[in-house]
Amino acid sequence: MTSVKLYPPKPEKVYFFGTCLIDMFFPQAGLDGIRLLEREGIEVVFPDDQTCCGQPAYTSGYQDEARAVAEAQLGLFAEPWPIVVPSGSCGGMMRTHYPQLFAGTPRETEAREVASRIYELTEFLMHVCHIQLADKGRPEKVAMHTSCSARREMGLAETGPKLLAQLGHVELVEQERAAECCGFGGTFAVRHPEVSAAMVEDKTQAIEATGAEHFVTSDCGCLMNIAGRFEYQKKAVWGEHIASYLWRRTT
């Protein structure tokens, strides 16, 4: 079920949960997300002990292991500040599944409270910061891929495109398979590689057919999967996390 959020006024401080994939593969996206928030006058606090949200274990059916990983995150956000996550996938896990994961345990109340403060980055920029972007880049065509978790679990199909629409020199082109999964799905791509490969092949063909020079997404798993497929195909279409794209075009 899609979560419903009541958006607060812009705060003075937020926590930033960086995600595993940003930490390991796309650190620039995390830094650019933080810069976007700081430019809006917000102090960003990055808890050093953060690790994984627990989603890989959770979606693989290992609830006890997922709970142990998630439990290590709960104590990192003691202050009542929003928790901004540059990923609809991780954000969906923390907002939607933490209350379920800890139901009936001593930390259920804490998990629900943390979940209530989770915001995906584009959601936060759009609905809390009410960000206004001035495009300084050259004219170009760009395709947007919104992850399944952001689109269906968090109800955020429109936040990324609306932010891109503020960029006056960017033509946002609609891909035929915009609402379809790229095939990554966390551990799905590992457990069902042939199916995943067929899905990302469809996705890259749809993006290429738009004539876009590159694509952006708000989830690094999708970014790694789609960009990796384009590289395998030796196609000149490259991908970028939306945080880096917004920062690069507005500085």
Taking only the tens place, the pLDDT of each residue in 95-150 is: 999 999 999 999 999 999 999 999 999 999 999 999 999 999 999 999 999 999 99
Q: Indicate the number of domains in the chain.
A: 2
Taking only the tens place, the pLDDT of each residue in 202-212 is: 999 999 999 99
Q: Are 129 and 95 in contact (CB under 8 A)?
A: no
Q: Is 187 domain-assigned? A: yes
pLDDT at position 2 is 43
pLDDT at position 3 is 46
d(CA 91, CA 18): 10
Domain boundary among 64, 97, 127: 127
Domain boundary among 60, 95, 127: 127
Q: Is 34 domain-assigned? A: yes
Judge whether residue 154 has pLDDT over 60.
yes
**Do both 67 and 93 map to the same domain?**
yes
- 1, with CB counted inside 10 A (0-12, 13-18, 19+), is exposed
How many C-alpha atoms does 249 have within 13 Å on its Cβ side?
25
pLDDT at position 4 is 54
Taking only the tens place, the pLDDT of each residue in 46-67 is: 999 999 999 999 999 999 999 9
**Do both 47 and 91 map to the same domain?**
yes
Q: What is the CATH number of the domain that holds 210?
A: 3.40.50.1860
pTM of the model: 0.94
d(CA 61, CA 220): 22
Q: Is 59 domain-assigned? A: yes
pLDDT at position 220 is 95
**Do both 29 and 91 map to the same domain?**
yes
Q: Is 133 domain-assigned? A: no
Judge whether residue 247 has pLDDT over 80.
yes
Domain boundary among 63, 93, 127: 127
Task: Transcribe 186-247 into DSSP letters.
Answer: TTHHHHSHHHHHHHHHHHHHHHHHTT-SEEEES-HHHHHHHHHHHHHTT-S-EEEEHHHHHH
Per-residue b/e over 125-139, b at no fewer than 16 CB within 10 Å? bbbbbebebeeeeee
Judge whether residue 179 has pLDDT over 60.
yes
Share of the chain above pLDDT 70, in %: 98
Q: Are 45 and 16 in contact (CB under 8 A)?
A: yes
